Structure 1
């Protein structure tokens, strides 16, 4: 199975991406999700196959979602409060 898809990034949420079938475009994406996602910015067009590796998503889950619902939403990675606190503390350390 092969699926040609467009990948869009959200201008509102860092590291949030929306995969849609190229032929369908945004037609299958619910209006509420489109509103929350913001005006999509095209990142790339890609041919998905079972053998293809994706950076932060399981290609089979993406392909199944594209077939079943017409889109796949990739959420930003979860960063817990402890990691945020460490990152904030490290950013305040003096540089040498």
Structure 2
């Protein structure tokens, strides 16, 4: 199975996978409007790949087969200030109040 991978300029790390190049018929209009102009990143042969980075191969194949597309969201960014505050024994946010 071969699929096309597209990126968007609107959100770094967001990718749209479709089974055929430039075929967005199955992608909902609302998603395409939010995604913006898709830029082809690569054609990806799924049967020749064991690992696909952060995407589970079987989950991707199932989504492409069942709904006709797969949207990969970027990983959630860690809030370094909150992590530092928690490490210092403080609440994650200055406005959080401890009860008791």
Q: TM-score range by the shorter chain?
A: 0.7 to 0.9
1:20 Cα deviation after fit: 0.1
Task: Look up the match of 1:74.
Answer: 72
TM-score, normalised to structure 2, is: 0.74
Residue segments in structure 1 that go unaligned for 5+ positions in a row = 87-96
Are the structure 2 counterparts of residues 42 and 51 from structure 1 closer, same or farther at C-alpha, using a change threshold of 3 Å? closer
Bigger CA radius of gyration: 2
Residue segments in structure 2 that go unaligned for 5+ positions in a row = 85-100
CA contact (8 A) 1:5 1:47 kept: yes
CA contact (8 A) 1:9 1:17 kept: yes
CA contact (8 A) 1:65 1:71 kept: yes
TM-score, normalised to structure 1, is: 0.77
- Once residues 30 and 8 of structure 1 are traced to their aligned partners in structure 2, the CA distance between those partners, rounded to angstroms, is 15
- Once residues 25 and 85 of structure 1 are traced to their aligned partners in structure 2, the CA distance between those partners, rounded to angstroms, is 42
Query: If each structure's helix is expressed as a fraction of its own residues, which one has the higher value?
Result: 1
